[in-house]
């Protein structure tokens, strides 16, 4: 995770957790103390005990909900396209149902995987 610290001259630096507790040299000649990890996390609004290797979720819950709902709808729609093609009730091009089901399944899996 990266954190933003600044020098008195106004220049900003991006530091990683590995630099916590060290010092950096600014172009203006000042030495900048990088706060300890717990202080960096507190500035970021994170709990001090957060795992270092924890990955943030790729999508938030709202987007995941839409992916799951849309994927399930496309999967079901593709199934009905396949049935309509086979029965002759509403013929479409030959692979319409399979393609729709593949897209729906991909979206559904992406939403579940998060």
Contact 71, 108 (CB under 8 A): yes
For all residues of the chain together, what is the average pLDDT? 82
- Asked whether residue 51 carries a pLDDT value surpassing 90, the answer given is no
If one compares 59 and 29, the residue with the highest pLDDT of the two is 29
Which residues in 4-37 are b (16+ Cβ under 10 Å) and which e? ebebeeeeeeebeeebbeeeeeeeeeeebebbeb
């Amino acid at each position: 995770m990266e954190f933003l610290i600044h020098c008195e001259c106004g220049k900003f630096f991006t530091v990683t957790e590995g630099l916590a507790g060290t010092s950096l040299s600014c172009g203006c000649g000042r030495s900048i103390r990088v706060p300890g990890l717990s202080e960096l996390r507190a500035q970021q609004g994170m709990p001090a005990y957060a795992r270092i290797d924890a990955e943030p979720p790729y999508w938030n819950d709202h987007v995941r909900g839409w992916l799951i709902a849309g994927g399930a709808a496309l999967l079901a729609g593709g199934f009905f396209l396949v049935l309509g093609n086979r029965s002759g009730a509403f013929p479409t091009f030959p692979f319409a149902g399979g393609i729709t089901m593949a897209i729906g399944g991909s979206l559904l899996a992406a939403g579940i995987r998060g």
